[in-house]
Structure 1
């Protein structure tokens, strides 16, 4: 995508029909939902990345993401506890040897 096209979109200097693939590529490059710019073009509220537009599905996906984040946190804490236990066992082994 050329800088000229991006300038046209930013400044709305040229009135023309935009290819949906161009708008999708630019939306993705900006880390937006693929349909972000197309939604704006048609006066609709754009979806955020990961949203489907189906409220029930988006709620489920949001909850699953929260669960995934929490599980990652728990996993990190368990890894830390494992390291602490190994360290304690190692210290006790050295004391027993001495």
Structure 2
């Protein structure tokens, strides 16, 4: 949204500018880790995103987000469950780290 100089109190959408910006496809920030997506908003959900272990500060795990499930369940024995979107399920919550995957 661009501010209109004639009336500082209003914002006006520029569809032409939005289309121009959306046409610039760039490599995902995580391309060097195997991601082949080309987009500007993809990186926040990229499975190649690098992350560290949230379970223990002394753990030292640093890997792709897609590897975190296996790390937490294998190395820290975190309770696990798989679920599907749109399907109801019960979740028993105890004071520990839980790992979910869809």
Normalising by structure 1, what TM-score? 0.25
Structure richer in strand, relative to its length: 2
Normalising by structure 2, what TM-score? 0.24
Structure richer in helix, relative to its length: 1
Higher normalized contact order (CA 8 Å, seq sep 6+, divided by chain length): 2
Which is higher, the Rg of structure 1 or of structure 2?
1
